[in-house]
Chains A and B, each alone.
Chain A
């Protein structure tokens, strides 16, 4: 949390509210009433959410949100590398989410690692007669063809829940037959209001079917931790894990980027859970705290300021051995970070950035942009909850606009009004703003770059932000004739 309240020249609570009112003016009455509480100026001093969140999307407005299945496949389950993840239902959902989130994996594809697309490819007859029998058959086929897969997840798509299939009993029966974990995940896309419920349902299925089913072979140590909520986008886990190991911690399991099922199953014996993506995995941290007494700590590995704060906060949970190593690491990396800042800050100072990402990254990356001298003039999420917005308020400059599940119309309006030098959001937004001549970086997928986590990641982040903002191509957008 930043200690002083920052402001941006020309932005006041009144100016922001006027901008919001203007964006809302075109809405029909009912929709306007629904959208208004989701848009507000930030009240940095309060430390509280200024907007409503985690509500149903208003129909027809062009939301960026996905669904519960997307949260289960793309975030929690999909990144586990040594399992077969079956998209159970029609062919599309699994096809669209095949490799598109960039959860990188070690291992050999099709042998020890299964970053592939498995589906039951429902046809009309499966809708009419049910898909349980097909599921039974395909689970056996998956086990036969991929004998080294440590388990199978079955991720339900919309029709499965609607036709009343009982995947839970099928998976339970076949799991016993094959003697491998087969986990049902009732994450049909119509459940809940966004990806977020898919995260929660998936966390619950890990709680119900996975955790405590394995034990680490080696004896425990006081430095055993789990890295929670890092999905290895562009190699984030590899960067974060090496830094945590450098400060003396044993990273026993990773949830779930490049994750391994059995190690996740044995996480109940670690001493501390370190959580990066709070939104998608706080549930299991809380479960492990209540059930096994494992404390958890949120940390932020974006940009040297936040990394330093986080490393010291982590050190506080351990003895002097770790504290010493943390200080050594900070002393080792900070000059390197300063050199990066010295290179890029002159070109990025006072540039304005607007953010719209999933449920965590806006508040987590604001510090990294500020390390480069940039100001965040607008921030919002697709599927964050109240506790995320509480945590965002102190990170953002006062009176800047906060938007929850904005429509593309609103986002465009705000961008027109605020004229940012960079927008960080998703693929659906990217080309809209680039057509306008506004530099853009995808902040879900790191725009096919990364990693962005850790010291190693900051160098890449800084380079990417600079090349987006200062690319000479933007000067060519306006024709001279």
Chain B
């Protein structure tokens, strides 16, 4: 008998309905919440992905760049399909398909063959190599492998091949983004620093941001200022490419020569301190000009800080158009604050997004009641706490670091909120808690075109206010008694 577990052969059973009901109620209880929060090893419904995904996103942000996964081919398919589903756009990337023999002999042969083929087929201007688990576990030496690939002429010597170690058993997608960005900029700027040269430009890094609308918004704001800029790792056009009857494998990205010259910039702003610490640390030590790292400009206050920083760095006044824009955003907030005031939210996501959500909610008089971060640091926790402490609407709000979306479920069913802000993966918790999920951030698989609408800047404020308030009004219209159903809201 094929019963290697040595279990007794029993009849097929059905769980009695009363037992199902008992457990169904139990998982909504305080007792269950305690048990759930006592977990030591099991992670259920995590709100983060692994490093190479962020590395691939970053690679797509450069002109003519082919992301290249050194590792098992399944990894590449997973990253690609995740980006496809979120953006509803192509996400071309190759893998060198390491298999069992790679585990024994190392991955150099795969890497060399892969580079040669990828170059011949897809004619990239740059190949950005990053790793998945296998080569990280067996300890492949990328530095030597890539040097050898050029020496043996699998690819031209002049082809830039930045590479990043992005082990999935460490950090999250934001750390992979940082490592890849560091490597790309390091590679492209090597030997390009010219004493006394200043491009006069602002280098802007958007951070590990999966919203193409944000990239467009940054560019628009800088255009309003009339400031020349290089947006580094610009995925804006890559993942929002036109449908015009032709497929361009490299649809967007920062021009390589601009990225190379960024080292001679007038100033550099790295958005997203949690997604760019390695890159920013290096830029600070290496790049010409001034350097500053800032939170995502979400909400009025953080956008103001961003706008003023640009004005300060370039000695310019804030243009009237942006002042008006700010006024319009504040107008949108004051006109609709009554629909959000006092509402309780559960929010989760990457640290940089979280700072933005919390800041914005507090500005609206809403309460970020449960704040959950799947992989966060003490520093991030402190910064969030400071935001809460700075507003009376932060009173009673709590931060949960290194918790997952099954923890979130326990929170929202035992200590209810009016809505959740997060990615698509929160939809089960939202359904169980019978509250709306506002899909901001990444990934969004189950709604269309959300990535096209900026969350940052004054325009981002208008977008968030509109979406959130109108949903609450919808709910009122859908659920109120007939006699309270009326024309005005």
CB <8 Å contact, A26 and B92: no
Any A CB within 8 A of the CB of B194: no
Chain B residue numbers with a CB within 8 Å of A9 are none
Q: CA separation between A157 and B78, bound complex, in Å? A: 13
A: which residues have CB within 8 A of B?
A: 26-28, 30-31, 56-70, 86, 89-93, 95-98, 100, 108-112, 116-124, 126-127, 134-135, 137-138, 141-142, 144-145, 147-148, 157-159, 161-163, 172, 175-176, 179, 181-183, 189-193, 195, 207-217, 262-263, 265-266, 291, 407-409, 412, 426-428, 430-437, 477-479
Q: CA separation between A209 and B3, bound complex, in Å? A: 5
Q: How far is the CB of A310 from chain B (nearest CB, A)?
A: 28
Any A CB within 8 A of the CB of B470: no
Contact A176/B5 with A57-B73, A118-B42, A217-B11 known, Cβ cut-off 8 Å: yes
Interface residues on B, range: 35 or more
Any A CB within 8 A of the CB of B98: yes
CB <8 Å contact, B113 and A95: no
Interface string of B182-194 (1 = CB under 8 A from A): 0000000000000
Closest to B53 in A: A92
CB <8 Å contact, A263 and B122: no
Closest to A82 in B: B15
Q: CA separation between A61 and B95, bound complex, in Å? A: 8
Which 8 pairs, one residue from A and one from B, show the smallest C-beta to C-beta distance?
A67-B74, A60-B114, A92-B50, A59-B114, A96-B78, A60-B117, A90-B168, A138-B42
Q: CA separation between A347 and B4, bound complex, in Å? A: 56
Chain A residue numbers with a CB within 8 Å of B172 are 91
Any A CB within 8 A of the CB of B2: yes
Q: Which of A92, A117, A262, A408 lies in contact with B78, CB distance below 8 A?
A: A92
Q: CA separation between A437 and B242, bound complex, in Å? A: 11
CB <8 Å contact, A431 and B50: no
Chain A residue numbers with a CB within 8 Å of B50 are 90-92, 95
Any A CB within 8 A of the CB of B120: yes
Any A CB within 8 A of the CB of B231: no
Greatest chain B CB density within 10 A among A86, A92, A210, A426 is at A92
Chain B residue numbers with a CB within 8 Å of A434 are 243
Q: CA separation between A263 and B133, bound complex, in Å? A: 36
Q: How far is the CB of B213 from chain A (nearest CB, A)?
A: 18
CB <8 Å contact, A60 and B94: yes
CB <8 Å contact, B115 and A62: no
CB <8 Å contact, B243 and A61: no
- Extra 16 A-B pairs, beta carbons < 8 Å, given A138-B42, A175-B5: A27-B121, A57-B97, A60-B116, A91-B168, A95-B49, A116-B45, A120-B43, A134-B41, A145-B32, A145-B35, A159-B137, A214-B9, A217-B12, A217-B13, A434-B243, A436-B246
Q: How far is the CB of A424 from chain B (nearest CB, A)?
A: 16
Within 8 A of A (CB), among B39-55: 39-46, 48-50, 52-53
B: which residues have CB within 8 A of A?
A: 1-7, 9-13, 15, 19-20, 23-24, 27, 32, 35-36, 39-46, 48-50, 52-53, 68, 71-75, 77-82, 84-85, 88-100, 102-103, 110-111, 113-118, 120-122, 132-134, 137-138, 167-170, 172, 241-248, 406, 409, 425, 428, 432, 445
Closest to B3 in A: A213
Q: CA separation between A215 and B7, bound complex, in Å? A: 13
CB <8 Å contact, B11 and A63: no
CB <8 Å contact, A213 and B95: no
Chain B residue numbers with a CB within 8 Å of A118 are 42-44
Chain B residue numbers with a CB within 8 Å of A66 are 73-74, 77-78
Closest to B137 in A: A162
- 25 A-B pairs within 8 Å (CB atoms) are namely A59-B95, A60-B94, A61-B118, A65-B77, A68-B74, A70-B74, A70-B78, A110-B432, A116-B45, A116-B428, A118-B42, A148-B15, A159-B134, A159-B137, A162-B137, A190-B99, A192-B99, A209-B4, A211-B2, A217-B11, A263-B12, A431-B88, A431-B89, A433-B247, A477-B244
CB <8 Å contact, A137 and B90: no
Chain B residue numbers with a CB within 8 Å of A142 are 42
Contact A157/B245 with A60-B68, A62-B122, A432-B90 known, Cβ cut-off 8 Å: no
Q: CA separation between A178 and B215, bound complex, in Å? A: 52
Q: CA separation between A57 and B117, bound complex, in Å? A: 12
Chain A residue numbers with a CB within 8 Å of B68 are 60
Chain A residue numbers with a CB within 8 Å of B72 are 67, 158, 189-190
Q: Which of A62, A109, A190, A266 lies in contact with B134, CB distance below 8 A?
A: A190
CB <8 Å contact, A59 and B113: yes
CB <8 Å contact, A430 and B84: yes
Q: CA separation between A148 and B15, bound complex, in Å? A: 8
Contact A96/B113 with A175-B5, A217-B12 known, Cβ cut-off 8 Å: no
CB <8 Å contact, A148 and B23: yes
Q: CA separation between A26 and B116, bound complex, in Å? A: 12
Q: Which of B4, B36, B46 lies in contact with A119, CB distance below 8 A?
A: B46
Q: CA separation between A94 and B460, bound complex, in Å? A: 32
CB <8 Å contact, A126 and B169: yes
Chain B residue numbers with a CB within 8 Å of A436 are 245-247
Q: CA separation between A217 and B445, bound complex, in Å? A: 42
CB <8 Å contact, A432 and B247: yes
Greatest chain B CB density within 10 A among A26, A57, A61, A216 is at A61
Q: Which of B10, B137, B425 lies in contact with A158, CB distance below 8 A?
A: B137
CB <8 Å contact, B23 and A163: no
Contact A122/B169 with A58-B113, A217-B11 known, Cβ cut-off 8 Å: yes
Contact A111/B20 with A57-B73, A142-B42 known, Cβ cut-off 8 Å: yes
Q: CA separation between A144 and B11, bound complex, in Å? A: 23
Q: How far is the CB of B51 from chain A (nearest CB, A)?
A: 8
Q: How far is the CB of A204 from chain B (nearest CB, A)?
A: 10
Q: Which of A123, A148, A176, A265 lies in contact with B169, CB distance below 8 A?
A: A123
Contact A213/B243 with A91-B48, A111-B24, A190-B134 known, Cβ cut-off 8 Å: no
CB <8 Å contact, A110 and B409: yes
CB <8 Å contact, A148 and B5: no
Closest to B77 in A: A66
Q: How far is the CB of A208 from chain B (nearest CB, A)?
A: 5
Greatest chain B CB density within 10 A among A98, A123, A141, A172 is at A141
CB <8 Å contact, B81 and A427: yes
Q: CA separation between A90 and B169, bound complex, in Å? A: 5
Chain A residue numbers with a CB within 8 Å of B169 are 89-90, 122-124, 126-127, 159
CB <8 Å contact, A91 and B46: yes
Contact A159/B23 with A62-B122, A123-B169, A189-B75 known, Cβ cut-off 8 Å: no
Closest to B428 in A: A109
Q: How far is the CB of A136 from chain B (nearest CB, A)?
A: 8
Q: CA separation between A181 and B10, bound complex, in Å? A: 12
Q: Which of B12, B122, B168 lies in contact with A215, CB distance below 8 A?
A: B12
Closest to B247 in A: A435
CB <8 Å contact, B5 and A182: yes
CB <8 Å contact, B13 and A262: yes
Q: How far is the CB of A375 from chain B (nearest CB, A)?
A: 23
Greatest chain A CB density within 10 A among B3, B19, B36, B52 is at B3
CB <8 Å contact, A479 and B23: no
Contact A92/B75 with A57-B97, A432-B247 known, Cβ cut-off 8 Å: yes
